[in-house]
């Protein structure tokens, strides 16, 4: 059974993750903020694109720094993983909060609260999405092996 994921599958996984998130977030954001679905959907799409871009940039820089320290992702201690997650989210907040404030014509505090709400959504969403994806992938691999 093939366990390693191809580049195509990694891209498919990322796109599916973002599309499902957009389909879940845009209507809720539209309803909560009293803006049109298109307006909320456009913001959700912008946040998604910023998050994917930041993910690539941040992880490239973090991996380079890790190599300088002669460490690898496989050897990351829990404290390093926490630092990685906090720095990633802090960078994302610095990008998303001003963008959301501008797009929705709200203050930075309101945009920050919105971003916290998105983080609270994405924590369980990421867990559930990846669990479902892994289950579906394992089933497809089992069928392909038969």
The helix (run of H) or strand (run of E) holding residue 15 is: helix 7-33
Sketch the domain layout of the chain as residue ranges: 7-145
- Read off the pLDDT of residues 47-97 as tens digits, 9 standing for 90 and up: 999 988 898 898 888 888 877 877 665 566 788 878 888 898 899 999 999
Rounded-to-integer distance, Cα 27 and Cα 117, Å: 14
Q: In the prediction, which pLDDT does 1 show? A: 47
Say what the pTM is: 0.75
Whether the Cβ atoms of residue 54 and residue 92 lie closer than 8 Å to each other: yes
Helices (H), 34-107: 37-68, 78-104
92, two tokens = 């994302």
């Amino acid at each position: 059974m093939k366990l390693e994921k191809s580049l195509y599958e990694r891209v498919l996984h990322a796109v599916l993750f973002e599309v499902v998130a957009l389909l879940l977030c845009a209507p809720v954001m539209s309803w909560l903020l009293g803006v049109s679905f298109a307006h909320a959907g456009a913001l959700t799409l912008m946040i998604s694109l910023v998050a994917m871009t930041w993910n690539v940039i941040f992880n490239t820089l973090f991996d380079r720094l890790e190599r300088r320290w002669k460490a690898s992702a496989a050897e990351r201690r829990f404290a390093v993983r926490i630092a990685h997650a906090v720095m990633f989210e802090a960078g994302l907040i610095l990008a998303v909060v001003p963008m959301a404030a501008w797009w929705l014509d709200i203050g930075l505090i309101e945009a920050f609260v919105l971003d916290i709400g998105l983080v609270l959504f994405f924590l369980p969403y990421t867990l559930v999405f990846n669990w479902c994806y892994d289950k579906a992938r394992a089933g497809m691999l089992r069928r392909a092996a038969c």
